[in-house]
Structure 1
Amino acid sequence: MGYVLNTALLGLVILVFLLFRRQRLRQASVQSHGCEPAISHPTKEPFFGSDFQRSMYGHVPFLYRLHEQYGTTFEVRSWVSLPVVCTIATDNIKCVNTSKDFGVEPMRLPGLEYFCGQGFITTDGDTWYHSRKLLKPSFDISNISDLQFLKREVDRLVEDLPGDSSTVDLQPLLYVMFLNSALHFVLGVDPSSQPSSAPLTADEFVKSFHDALFYSMVRVVLGPVWKLLPQSKYKKTCSTAHSFVDYHIGQANEEDGTTKGKSLIRALNSQTNDPTFIRSQVIQAMMAAQDTTSELLTNALFLLARHPKYWAQLRLEFVGKQESDLLAGTLLESKLTQNILHETLRIHPIFPLLGRVALRDTQLPVGGGPHHDRPMFIPEGTTLVMGYYALHRNPEVFGSDIEVFRPERWDSIKPKQWEFLGFGSGHRACLGQQKALIEASYALARLSQAIEELTSADSGDWKGEMKLTCKSANGCKVKIN
């Protein structure tokens, strides 16, 4: 017993020594760079600040309220881990999104690599650049303008809608519609007509994909602790998802690649013959594509159902239009649909917060000192959290009525590059931005043609559910006439 106690005391002394030593080194660096610390937010759990982490990911407006209290930049310190710096200062957001001093690999790759390998979601530097370069041709406007597959999916959705004023939750219907579209775009898969030689059906792949992704995200959260838990179920789930992707990589190898509107897997296959690397890019593309457009449209319909005048405006613009009128370029030029989608992304961003980690000792241009105007020293390993939900509620940019859904505000406001980040910006700006806007615009136009009246069947406030992205926790319950 005495030995155990002495060992524990020795470990505590070493920990305290290391903490004080790190603090002295930090202070020396701060002084040498002329930096000042940011205002600090206290935590209830002092060792790791776990109460702050739970609130940040569990309640979307949490960071916004803290920014209202502390200003554009503050930090959260704990006894054991490095501080978390939270910022909505545009100079800092620009720095984090454009500097090579910040990245994602240390926080993502260890937990995600077994499932989705190395690619644009999990790596930095040359590997990230190579991955993004290979993916970029698939998002050329000529390749994302073909809406025939999405047309079929919208047709099916419209046929399934009730017309008797009964309540329907549009969220799961939109999710399935855009999931099928994503499978077609990424893998060239038509879920309704899978070949018998495939190792599993599209539905079975989706289930294994989601299970593997869930376990992978748990791995990210738990860090090294994950290694202490059983691994066999996780590895089997990953292997099942991998087999489906590997099968379609093989199918792409046998095709000549001349079909118009190539799938992403075929575009990758024409640029590299490394099947493991292709699989990694495909799975990461599915991770990025699976929810984003469906959540954007779900949130837009959630808001439109509560503001019927904008639904009436949509119908006025699109009722009577032929399918040949609903082209990608025309949809992107529709001021009404683009205003609605941008206002939706402002109020309910798909990524309400985005994290980066300092890859080396560096600094932020502002945020330090009582007036937030001094540079800040950022030690290697520090987590940076950019609160886009809070950023999009700046009354100086968007007007005093920031909580009001008012699409026409976009006729007069002109946010600068780092003031509105519906699709990110900088090195990691979303490659699929135009694709998401085109598809969401098309679906809005078609639904406005089919639905005369769209009214909300849910009196509760919108509530976010944070996972890989942020979706409506209560769905999108509406009545349709």
Structure 2
Amino acid sequence: MYFYILSLSSILAYWIIKAAVSSNKDRVYARRKACQPCACLPQTERVIGYSLFKQDATIARQGRSLQTAQDRFRLFGDTFSGVILGQLFISTIDPENAKALLSSQFADFDSGKKALFGPFLGDSMLTTDEALWKHSRSLVRPHLGRTQVEDLSNLEGCVQNFFACLPKDGSTVDVQHLFFRLTFDNVIQLLLNETISTLSCQPGSNLHMVMKAFDSIGDLVNRRATLGPLLRFYCDTAMNDACKILHDFVDRIIEKAYRKRKEARGSTPPVSFLDSMLDSTDDLEKVRYEVLGLLLAGRDTTAGTLSSLFYVLARRPDVWTKLQTEVNRLGGRSPTYSDIKGLKYLRQLIDETLRLYPPVPVLFRAANQTTTLPRGGGVDGKSPVLVPKGTVISCSTFSLQRRQDVYGPDAEEFRPERWDHLTAHWNFLPFSAGPKVCLGQTYAYVQMAYIVSRVAQHYEGIEKRSDEPWTEKWSITLMNASGTKVGMIPKKGTVN
């Protein structure tokens, strides 16, 4: 017994001394950098932070996390700190801090996504940092060419399948559900050159099971995030089951394409992103994880944004009328890439939706070394802030993009015209920024613009069919918890 007590005492003493030495080094570093403390959330204790954890868990279940964070920024300023389950965190909406996180001090921070997404995405561009991330990005980026962005022929077929799912009599439909199917089908075709229709798949079919698994990933990742440091001890059977379904689905497509490329022996040019990837690597597991990461990003961010936009359109007939007036200039024909670039008001609609309902409402980073944020310290909030190694930083794009000092006193309102003369820079980050900016953002804009313009050409109006307020559902991306229930009123002769 004496031996065990002595051993435990020695371990405890070691950690106390180590923490003291580290704390002293941080104080010296903070003085050298002229750091000042930032505001702190009021907590009964800041060692474990269990009460704040319980409070935030309740708020999350009520769908109020983003609004609560915005209220805290109003109370405590643009940058504040707290402790949850022993983890120090700093929350900020200061654009200079956002710039430091994503660009000027990029090397000081890791994404921390591997623990959450590892079973699904492995070592891919979306989960890795530093050398592994650079390798993944160098492998993926050359194969996302301009030709794929400008070729919209495949998208039209997906849009027609979407139209076929809308009631012809204008009865109520939840288009949010359909948008997630539409964007998945389109991204599969774009990346893998495979034609599928999850919009028409039957319950119980293999494709239906794939979609159920894909739909579950967001909630499963969200649950893993709530476990914090306990995640390492958690056996996530549900996540593993969903991953197996999705891995098997993508692996079959990859292996078929791989055999074709080997048989062709370079005699035929690649016709898809997948073909190009397979011409540059034989690591099929690596290809799988990169493809799944792009599928996830390409489906969820676009579908969530479209859902929020149509929620607004159903409640703003003035916006719908102005949109139709612009789109009518096309004369009913399918828009080309060049046409889309000229639809100024439609671009403003998309930007305003991304501003108020950003697909990724909070950007997280973790300090991989002791560093600083350029602002947030001191009484005036203008001094640097110490960021000890391991600190989690959250930048709420949801709140950042509603700053009244940037967007005006009506920042909470949907007003697309504000983009006539607005240059937002680091106050507008729907696709992140810096070295890890979303590679697919151009196609996301084009895809959303094409879908919206085709709907405006084929439908006379959009009617709201629910009085429920927009309520956040935030897992991987942001969407309305109650869906987007609308009535789509067809134009005569445009929808069979």
Counterpart of 1:153, as a letter, is C
User: Does the Cα contact within 8 Å between 1:144 and 1:261 map onto a contact in 2?
Assistant: no
Alignment of 1:104-253 (within 5 A): 104-105=110-111, 107-192=112-197, 201-211=206-216, 214-215=219-220, 218-222=223-227, 225-230=230-235, 234-253=239-258
Deviation, 1:373, is 0.9
Q: Which residue of 2 aligns with 1:29?
A: 29
Matched, 1:50 2:59: no
> Alpha carbons of 1:234 and 1:345: their partners in 2 closer, same or farther (altered >3 Å)?
closer
Matched, 1:409 2:415: no
> Alpha carbons of 1:315 and 1:261: their partners in 2 closer, same or farther (altered >3 Å)?
farther
- Distance (whole Å) between structure 2 residues aligned to residue 392 and residue 143 of structure 1: 30
Counterpart of 1:68, as a letter, is R
Structure 1 counterpart SS, 2:280 = coil
User: Does the Cα contact within 8 Å between 1:115 and 1:213 map onto a contact in 2?
Assistant: no
- Distance (whole Å) between structure 1 residues aligned to residue 158 and residue 170 of structure 2: 23
- Distance (whole Å) between structure 2 residues aligned to residue 208 and residue 399 of structure 1: 42
Deviation, 1:445, is 0.6
User: Does the Cα contact within 8 Å between 1:44 and 1:51 map onto a contact in 2?
Assistant: no
Counterpart of 1:384, as a letter, is I
Residue number among 368, 375, 380 corresponding to 2:384 in the alignment? 375
> Alpha carbons of 1:229 and 1:339: their partners in 2 closer, same or farther (altered >3 Å)?
closer
Residue number among 279, 282, 287 corresponding to 1:278 in the alignment? 287
> Alpha carbons of 1:216 and 1:392: their partners in 2 closer, same or farther (altered >3 Å)?
closer
Q: Which residue of 1 aligns with 2:65?
A: 59
- Distance (whole Å) between structure 1 residues aligned to residue 270 and residue 167 of structure 2: 33
Matched, 1:440 2:440: no
Counterpart of 2:71, as a letter, is R
Q: Which residue of 2 aligns with 1:338?
A: 347
- Distance (whole Å) between structure 2 residues aligned to residue 152 and residue 10 of structure 1: 68
Q: Which residue of 2 aligns with 1:309?
A: 318
Worse-matched range after superposition: 450-459 or 87-96? 450-459
Q: Which residue of 2 aligns with 1:328?
A: 337
The size of the alignment, in residue pairs, is: 472
Deviation, 1:216, is 5.1
User: Does the Cα contact within 8 Å between 2:40 and 2:81 map onto a contact in 1?
Assistant: yes
Residue number among 98, 101, 110 corresponding to 1:96 in the alignment? 101
Deviation, 1:25, is 4.1
User: Does the Cα contact within 8 Å between 1:143 and 1:261 map onto a contact in 2?
Assistant: no
Q: Which residue of 1 aligns with 2:373?
A: 364
> Alpha carbons of 1:3 and 1:64: their partners in 2 closer, same or farther (altered >3 Å)?
farther
User: Does the Cα contact within 8 Å between 2:143 and 2:276 map onto a contact in 1?
Assistant: yes
> Alpha carbons of 1:213 and 1:73: their partners in 2 closer, same or farther (altered >3 Å)?
closer
Deviation, 1:128, is 0.9
Counterpart of 2:388, as a letter, is P
Summarize deviations over 1:14-41 as a string: whole Å, max 9, x none: 8777666654443333223321111111
Structure 1 counterpart SS, 2:86 = coil
Summarize deviations over 1:67-113 as a string: whole Å, max 9, x none: 111221111135x63421111111111111012434335x2223432
Worse-matched range after superposition: 315-324 or 147-156? 315-324
Residue number among 450, 457, 473 corresponding to 1:449 in the alignment? 457
> Alpha carbons of 1:42 and 1:286: their partners in 2 closer, same or farther (altered >3 Å)?
same
Structure 2 counterpart SS, 1:136 = helix
Deviation, 1:472, is 0.9
User: Does the Cα contact within 8 Å between 1:138 and 1:262 map onto a contact in 2?
Assistant: no
Matched, 1:353 2:362: yes
Q: Which residue of 2 aligns with 1:478?
A: 486
Structure 1 counterpart SS, 2:413 = coil
Deviation, 1:236, is 4.8
Q: Which residue of 1 aligns with 2:467?
A: 459
- Distance (whole Å) between structure 2 residues aligned to residue 212 and residue 62 of structure 1: 25
Alignment of 1:65-80 (within 5 A): 65-77=71-83
Worse-matched range after superposition: 344-353 or 26-35? 26-35
Structure 2 counterpart SS, 1:357 = strand
User: Does the Cα contact within 8 Å between 1:40 and 1:77 map onto a contact in 2?
Assistant: no
Deviation, 1:233, is 5.8
Matched, 1:87 2:92: yes
Structure 2 counterpart SS, 1:119 = coil
- Distance (whole Å) between structure 2 residues aligned to residue 19 and residue 284 of structure 1: 38
User: Does the Cα contact within 8 Å between 2:334 and 2:454 map onto a contact in 1?
Assistant: no
> Alpha carbons of 1:232 and 1:351: their partners in 2 closer, same or farther (altered >3 Å)?
closer
User: Does the Cα contact within 8 Å between 2:326 and 2:343 map onto a contact in 1?
Assistant: no
Counterpart of 2:34, as a letter, is G
Structure 1 counterpart SS, 2:173 = strand
Q: Which residue of 2 aligns with 1:196?
A: none
Q: Which residue of 1 aligns with 2:494?
A: none
Counterpart of 1:266, as a letter, is D
TM-score by length of 2: 0.86
> Alpha carbons of 1:61 and 1:362: their partners in 2 closer, same or farther (altered >3 Å)?
same
TM-score by length of 1: 0.88
User: Does the Cα contact within 8 Å between 1:74 and 1:86 map onto a contact in 2?
Assistant: yes
Summarize deviations over 1:137-165 as a string: whole Å, max 9, x none: 34322112222222112112223322434
Summarize deviations over 1:23-67 as a string: whole Å, max 9, x none: 444333322332111111123675134146534785221221111
User: Does the Cα contact within 8 Å between 2:302 and 2:444 map onto a contact in 1?
Assistant: yes
User: Does the Cα contact within 8 Å between 2:218 and 2:476 map onto a contact in 1?
Assistant: no
Deviation, 1:323, is 6.5
Worse-matched range after superposition: 285-294 or 433-442? 285-294
Structure 1 counterpart SS, 2:351 = helix
Q: Which residue of 1 aligns with 2:493?
A: none
- Distance (whole Å) between structure 2 residues aligned to residue 451 and residue 85 of structure 1: 46
User: Does the Cα contact within 8 Å between 1:42 and 1:77 map onto a contact in 2?
Assistant: no
Counterpart of 2:371, as a letter, is T
- Distance (whole Å) between structure 2 residues aligned to residue 400 and residue 234 of structure 1: 44
- Distance (whole Å) between structure 2 residues aligned to residue 284 and residue 239 of structure 1: 15
- Distance (whole Å) between structure 2 residues aligned to residue 100 and residue 26 of structure 1: 20
User: Does the Cα contact within 8 Å between 1:108 and 1:220 map onto a contact in 2?
Assistant: no
> Alpha carbons of 1:134 and 1:261: their partners in 2 closer, same or farther (altered >3 Å)?
same
